[in-house]
Every structure is written in C-alpha cells, then in structure tokens.
Structure 1
Amino acid sequence: MGSEFSTDDVVYESALQLWAAAQTDFDPYQVPPSEWAPAVPISDADIATDTQLDLDVVQDSLRRLDGKRLVIGEAAGTMSVEAPISEGGPP
C-alpha cells in the first residue's frame, strides 16, 4: 500500500528543500521563522528541473500553493518561492 502524492505535494516538497538549501545567511532549521533574514528565492525553473515536471505544470501548482503553503513572487513571467508559510516550525 503506497501513498499517493499530488503534483502540488511534489512541487511543495521540492520548493522546501531547494529553498532551505539556498539560504546562506541563516539556517531555517535552526532559526525561528520570526528571525529569518531576507530569503534567497527559488525559481520555478529550478523546481521544474528538480521534479522533472513541465514548467507550466510547476507554475500552475505554485499558483495553487501561493498564500496557503508558500509565498510566491512573480516578475517578468518567472515565478519564485520567496518563503514557506511556517506553522511555527522549520520549513
């Protein structure tokens, strides 16, 4: 009996891992969210490469996750994960 992951779950997990790894001024696993420094965003293309999903699929998923599980920015057609929405713990 295997667990089923939705596309949103796959994109979310990839975004969290890439985002946490990109932070150089703080460790999101050691510093409380209220003390996080300005974050290094993760692009939709990075997530698409990591997950091997089409860019359009990743962007659709990021739109659904925006404001619920992730903070998403968009500029010049590129979407980026600015930060996870924390429930008080590490991403």
Structure 2
Amino acid sequence: MPDDHTTDDIVHESALQLWAAAQTDFDPFEVPPEEWGPNVVPVRDADIAHDTHLDLAVVRESIGRLEGSRLVAEREGSDVVVTRTVPDDVPL
C-alpha cells in the first residue's frame, strides 16, 4: 500500500485530470479561474476511486488531506465532490 504522500499525489493527479475533462463550457488550462463562472462540473470521489483503483475510503481520506491546499471539495450527502483543483505547477 502506498504511503499517504504517494496516495495524495495519485488522488490529486486523477482529480485534476478528471475535473479538467469534465469541464465542457471552458478549458480550465486556458481560461483564468475568475472567468470559470457558475457551470463548474464537480468530480465525485467514486469516480476518482474507480480511476485510481484505490478504495473509496482511501480516496476520501486523501481528499480530506488535500482539501484547502490542492483541492476544493464539498459534501453532497454521503459523497465528496471535488469542485476545483489546483495544478501542481501553481505555487501554494
């Protein structure tokens, strides 16, 4: 089993790729965040778990560690959704 840091890297990369691909109204790599508007499509924790082949509980724990620094997440019922990501090349 990978350590927390490696898991967080895997989850962040998957969230970034899935989230960017889900945006159909804008290209998050070409449009500045302040112009994204209200139509941001979130990515569910289950989608990240499926993409990474990690257990859903592991993905949720990782999102919790990444939230506020590399990911913006919200709770929707029992699900966790990533509403925004921060690419690796953006300084914190």
Q: TM-score normalized by structure 2?
A: 0.85
1:28 aligns with 2:28: yes
Tell me the CA shift for residue 85 of structure 1: 3.5
**Which consecutive unaligned segments of at least 5 residues does structure 1 have?**
none
3-state SS of paired residue (2:73): strand
Contact persistence 2:16–2:87 (CA under 8 A): no
The one-letter code of the counterpart of 2:81 is S
* 4+ aligned runs moved over 4 Å, structure 1: 86-89
Residue 36 of structure 1 deviates from its aligned partner by 1.1
SS of aligned partner of 1:82: strand
Name the % identity: 56
| Aligned-partner residue type, residue 83 of structure 2 | E
SS in 1 for 2:21: helix
Q: How many equivalent pairs are there?
A: 85
Mapped to 2, the partners of 1:87 and 1:18 lie a distance apart of 15
Corresponding position: 1:67 with 2:68: yes
| 1:13-35, Cα deviation, whole Å (9 max, x unpaired) | 00000000000110111111121
Aligned pairs for 1:14-53 (under 5 A) are 14-38=14-38, 39-53=40-54
Shift in Å, 1:86:
6.1
Q: Which runs of 5+ in 2 are unaligned?
A: none
Task: Tell me if 1:6 matches 2:6.
Answer: yes
Separation in 2, partners of 1:56, 1:16 = 19
Q: Which amino acid aligns with 1:19?
A: W
The separation in 1 between residues aligned to 2:6 and 2:35, in whole angstroms, is 31
